[in-house]
Amino acid sequence: MSAGRILGLLIAVAVVAWLVRSQGILLTSSGSREAGTSAPMDKARAAARATNARSAQTEAASRSLESPSGEAGGSVSENMTPEQVRALLGPPDSVDSATGEDGVARERWTYKQVGKTVVFENGIVVRVE
C-alpha cells in the first residue's frame, strides 16, 4: 500500500503543480491584455474629444448662420478660453499678439464676418469689442 500512496501523492503533486503553472500563465496573459487595452481606450477617448469639438464647431456655425451677425458674437463673454471662443465663432480672421510692459500676454482676435474683436489676456477673454 505504501507504493500506491506514494503514487497517489505524486499524481496529486503533479496536478497541483500543473494548476499553479497554468494559473500563472493565465494571470500573466490577462495582465498583458489589461495593459494592451489602454491604448485602444486612449484612442477611443481622443476620437470622442475630436468628435465633440467638431460638433461644437458645427453648432456654432449653424447658430451664426441662423442669427443676425450682431448676435453671434454676443455669446462670447469674459473669462472664456480660446478653445471656447473657437467653438462658438470658429477660427479668427486675424490674430495680433503682444506682451505688455507688465509682462501680460495679450491677443486680439478679429472676426470680420460678425464684426467682433475678442481681447485675451493670459489666455482668458477680458473684452469683446
Given a cut of 50, is residue 18 above it in pLDDT?
yes
Residues in Cβ contact with 128 at an 8 Å cutoff, skipping those fewer than 6 apart:
73, 76, 77, 78, 116, 117, 118, 119
Q: What is the pLDDT of residue 69?
A: 46
Dig out the grid coordinates for 56 from the structure.
461644437
Instruction: Answer whether residue 106 shows pLDDT above 90.
Output: yes
Evaluate if residue 97 carries a pLDDT over 90: yes
Give the model's pLDDT for residue 91: 92
Give the chain's mean pLDDT: 80
SS3 content of the chain, % helix, strand, coil (to 5): 60, 20, 20
Give whichever of 35-39, 57-61, 70-74 has the largest mean pLDDT: 57-61
